Structure 1
Amino acid sequence: MASLSSNDSIVIVGAGIIGLNVALVLSERGYGQSIAVVAEHFPGDTSLNYTSPWAGCNFSAISGTDATALRWDRLGYDHLSRLASVRSEEAYVHWTPSIELWDEDVPRDKIQHMSEYLRDFRILPEAELPKGVKFAVSFTTLTVNAPEHIKYLHRRLQDQYGVRFVRKRLPSIQSAYASPSTKIVFNCTGIASGTLPGVEDPKCYPTRGQVVLVKAPHIQTNMMRHGADYETYVIPRPGSNGNVILGGYMQKRVSDGSTYAFEVESILARTRDLSLEIRQQEPELLGTFAGLRPSREGGARVERDEVVIDGQKCALVHNYGAGGTGFQAGYGMALESVAIVEDVLHQIQNSMPRANL
């Protein structure tokens, strides 16, 4: 089993979509062979607390309305757009027609910002709105096959960039500095940041979701309806031979990993009302899954910190708490988390063999 080594100038703790995107941003800049990703779970594994494989997932208006969230979203849309245009089949990212509807609390400033870059953006006229809907837009979104996409990132990081993956549960964030050569640790531990010694962020909490996986090749449209106390969505899963994710639930501070028949019935009823494609042909039920989104009061934390190891100050970058927006905002979060340690990266770069750059 691989372990941390003296070559690991950069250690990323956590191998969900957040940690993998940090590794990708660093690798694209030439640091791949200096990186070790340390985690208890990797792409291909399943666990209630390893959230990334359970995601729907798509680019949508569910993220925050503050300037930071808007910036991360736009960077994420650009990144996913490049993958869909150049590596669509390999990366499991596809262009997909989308409709989003709001019953109330329409985030107009956010929608205005998104209208500046979303493909084919259009506000739907009132005559086209279903009963109970106050506002709706259509655009071309990006849908992602979450479990296959993170496997793609895992392979690419290993094979193309030489990133090392170490399966290990760390007893504390300080233990990530196992080698004296480690200059930066990126904390991408999601929900675990609430309990991991050395972090123990009291603002972290789980948000439970339950989804239904169905076989429905005829469903080609991404749809989301944002209600006062619910989220309903229909998300085609790219590269899955016609599978679709139906959801869902956003249950704050609920850590129950069980699935419930009455919630399945609610999801099926709500998505049937939402999607004409479902009403035209009943989908085949394949399975039901629950997962815990890594949420945080006040939104995601992307922040530079420092720890003292053997009398030396070392850089620690926190990057966690994205909730349900990790796939759409994660690349933007990664760019920002890398930018705030530019000075330390410059030191690492100067000590690297020229062949690595």
Structure 2
Amino acid sequence: MEESETIVILGAGIIGLDVALVLSERGYGRYVTVKAEYLPGDSAGTYTSPWAGCNFSAISGSNPNELKWDRLGYAHLTKLASERPDEAFVQRTPSTEMWDEEVPYSKIEAMSEYLEDFHVLPESQLPKGVKHAVSFTTVTINAPKHMEYLYRRLRDQYGVRFVRQRVSSLQDAFANPATRVAFNCTGNASRSLPGVEDHKCYPTRGQVVLCRAPRVTSNIMRHGRDYETYVIPRPGSNGNVILGGYMQRRNSDCATYSYETKSILDRTRELSSEVCQEEVEILAAFAGLRPSRDGGARIERENISVAGETRIVVHNYGAGGTGFQAGYGMAWEAVRSVEDVLRQLKNLHPRPRM
């Protein structure tokens, strides 16, 4: 029996890839098989992660778990930005973040403890209608290229196996009797996947515009009552920038619309002096479906019965729009929940002595 199927990860979005990375960094890469309908490099409306902006921001929640996941994620991403920025498509970027109302002060205070170059902007510098603003050094990520980097690293450096397979139920994770534990990282599919069927899950649609604007070098975000506007330079893309956006809860439409593109261009020109002064070349418009969940992300260990035997599943989904910034921290917690099982694996499959 393949020892590489002792651990199975369902889903190859950023959440599944981060779980594979945490497992690999702890020495379990050779036990891991990732099963997914889509793999890094693919493009599909329901394959959410490649459509992300993406950056590190205060857009995530304020409960203790979300604060912890963000902190771990920022440490992981800034380490990549220091050690292998070109290879990983991650870079440090100056950032300004603004709120018109409903300022998450406790969240901002928690993040100020570790964000590099953190400052609260004085009221005299706030644009009209802005209640609070901060500046700091964020990390911006070229989402599709970063996923391809993780795919290559996991496969070539750690021996993780990838299998293209459309998963029809949670039980598919245990098709090989050798599989001891599975991680369910199926995102939006967890709402309907037999064996999970979590009706707290829902999509949050976002449309973004990919532009070429090489003189745009700063990240900027403005959170309003009924809108999100942001400018995110895309690392390693020869001057491309993501302009956004929308946060449309319970909207599963993957189409793009010209009136939304116009709204995004108008809002980002008003928001960013760099965009306003740049000759922006529109390259494409994308729509993606963030895998959201009422009550926040679910990271939970569960025993299920497979052919009369007990098997272990760890659910890890529902990150919404925070998968890239919180995913490594979420993966760390998901893996930690099955440390007892993982320790047994090395005893079952010891490395041969040289």
Give the TM bin, normalised by the shorter chain.
Answer: over 0.9
1:6–1:180 CA contact under 8 A, matched in 2: no
Q: TM-score, normalised by structure 2?
A: 0.98
Q: Which moved more, 1:150-159 or 1:310-319?
A: 310-319
Counterpart selection for 1:12 from 5, 9, 28: 9
Counterpart selection for 2:323 from 315, 321, 326: 326
User: Does 2:189 align with 1:192?
Assistant: yes
Which amino acid is 2:141 matched to? Answer: V
Counterpart selection for 1:239 from 236, 257, 279: 236
What's the offset of the Cα at 1:347? 1.1
CA distance in 2, matches of 1:220, 1:332: 27
CA distance in 2, matches of 1:274, 1:355: 59
CA distance in 1, matches of 2:86, 2:168: 38
User: Where do 5+ consecutive residues of structure 1 fail to align?
Assistant: none
User: Does 2:154 align with 1:132?
Assistant: no
1:7–1:181 CA contact under 8 A, matched in 2: no
User: Does 2:47 align with 1:50?
Assistant: yes
CA distance in 2, matches of 1:85, 1:200: 41
CA distance in 1, matches of 2:24, 2:4: 15
Secondary structure at the residue paired with 1:80? helix
What's the offset of the Cα at 1:351? 1.0
Alignment-derived partner of residue 298 in structure 1: 295
Q: Which moved more, 1:168-177 or 1:314-323?
A: 168-177
Percentage of pairs with the same residue = 66
Alignment-derived partner of residue 111 in structure 1: 108
Q: Which moved more, 1:194-203 or 1:275-284?
A: 275-284
Alignment-derived partner of residue 164 in structure 1: 161
Counterpart selection for 2:306 from 301, 306, 309: 309
Secondary structure at the residue paired with 2:5? coil
What's the offset of the Cα at 1:355? 4.7
| CA RMSD of superposed structures (Å) | 1.1
Counterpart selection for 1:90 from 81, 87, 92: 87
1:6–1:179 CA contact under 8 A, matched in 2: no
What's the offset of the Cα at 1:178? 1.0
Alignment-derived partner of residue 180 in structure 1: 177
Alignment-derived partner of residue 252 in structure 1: 249
Alignment-derived partner of residue 67 in structure 2: 70
Which amino acid is 1:57 matched to? Answer: C
Instruction: Detail structure 1 runs of 4+ shifted over 3 Å in the superposition.
Output: 4-7
Instruction: Give the paired residue count.
Output: 353
Secondary structure at the residue paired with 2:206? strand
CA distance in 2, matches of 1:240, 1:281: 17
Which amino acid is 1:8 matched to? Answer: E
User: Where do 5+ consecutive residues of structure 2 fail to align?
Assistant: none
